[in-house]
């Protein structure tokens, strides 16, 4: 299982973000305790009558030892400062982490693609290509949400990519040019933002194990900010060409108060591929 770590985690020190942004600047509107610290259990803010999801978020780390047990070995040799795979969601590595092998919805053609990828010497990550959706929500790197009345923008530190989620009532494009991050529209169901995404390239690896997708992939994300510092996220992956049924799992996103995302560049002075085995 450890051979799959090279898909996401062997990021050399030369590629780490350069500190220079405002990492400790007090964010206006943040509820605070008597000691001045952010009150993460405070009431979630609202914008135009809806929860305001704006802020810097990062997926909640798994329990201690969970990633080691999942990957079947000591992973300390695969971590570098600022890129600790033990902080990644387990679904980043395997979207089927909740299922027993006999419960797998993988179609035969998808299994064949996975077998071919397991022997490949290069992955999209190693080529400095985007991790895609929903992996960008699940990696242990922060992302920023900027919410306006008709558009929500997600800025990901990983890959330095961004998404536009239109909440102005438009529909998904009928015949889009396939994209790594897809195309996204959102709507509110009560206090939950429901994001539907489609138009993905079939070159996307939906997890580090290499589970494949087709251009028929649809991803639904349901964001619910339950208080100031915690946001529940339910993800459903639907791809009838690769899987016999939809795949659903849940994670929690944690607010990083008074913080910011950093510049992250992979393709400049890249030193990783020469050392890959």
Please tell me the predicted confidence (pLDDT) of residue 274: 65
Please tell me the predicted confidence (pLDDT) of residue 82: 72
Strand ranges, E, within the chain:
46-47, 50-51, 55-59, 143-147, 151-156, 162-166, 183-189, 192-198, 218-225, 230-238, 247-255
Question: What one-character DSSP code corresponds to residue 268?
Answer: S
Please tell me the predicted confidence (pLDDT) of residue 121: 61
Identify the structural domains of the chain with CATH numbers, from first to last: 2-9+46-268 (2.40.128.20)
Please tell me the predicted confidence (pLDDT) of residue 74: 75
pLDDT per residue of the chain (277 residues) written in tens, 0 to 9: 443 444 444 433 334 444 446 788 889 999 999 999 999 999 999 999 999 999 999 999 999 989 888 888 777 777 777 778 889 999 999 999 999 999 999 999 999 999 998 877 677 877 888 999 999 999 999 999 999 999 999 999 988 899 999 999 999 999 999 999 999 999 999 999 999 999 999 999 999 999 999 999 999 999 999 999 999 999 999 999 999 999 999 999 999 999 999 888 777 666 666 665 5
- Which string of b and e fits 113-147 if b means at least 16 CB within 10 Å? bbeebeeeeebbbbeebbbbbbbbbbbbbbbbbeb
Please tell me the predicted confidence (pLDDT) of residue 20: 47
């Amino acid at each position: 299982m450890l051979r799959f770590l090279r898909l996401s985690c062997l990021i050399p020190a030369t590629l780490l973000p350069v500190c220079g942004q405002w990492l400790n600047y007090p964010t206006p509107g943040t509820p605070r305790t008597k000691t001045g610290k952010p009150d993460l259990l405070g009431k979630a803010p609202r914008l135009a009558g809806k929860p305001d999801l704006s802020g810097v978020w990062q997926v909640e780390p798994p329990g201690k030892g969970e990633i080691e047990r999942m990957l079947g070995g000591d992973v300390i040799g695969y971590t570098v400062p600022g890129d600790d795979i033990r902080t990644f969601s387990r679904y980043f590595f395997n979207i089927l982490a909740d299922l027993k092998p006999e419960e797998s919805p993988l179609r035969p053609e998808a299994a064949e693609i996975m077998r071919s990828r397991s022997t490949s010497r290069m992955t999209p990550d190693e080529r400095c290509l985007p991790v895609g959706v929903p992996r960008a929500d699940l990696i242990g790197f922060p992302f920023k949400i900027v919410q306006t009345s008709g558009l929500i923008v997600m800025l990901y530190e990983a890959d330095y990519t961004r998404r536009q989620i239109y909440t102005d009532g438009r529909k998904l494009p009928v015949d889009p040019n396939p994209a790594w991050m897809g195309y996204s529209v959102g709507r509110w169901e009560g206090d939950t933002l429901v994001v539907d995404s489609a138009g993905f390239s079939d070159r996307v690896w939906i997890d580090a194990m290499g589970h494949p997708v087709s251009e028929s992939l649809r991803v639904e994300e349901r964001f619910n900010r339950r208080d100031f510092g915690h946001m529940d996220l339910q993800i459903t992956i639907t791809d009838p060409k690769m899987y016999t049924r939809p795949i659903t799992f849940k994670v929690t996103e944690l607010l990083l108060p008074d913080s910011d995302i950093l510049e992250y560049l992979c393709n400049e002075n890249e030193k990783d591929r020469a050392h890959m085995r």
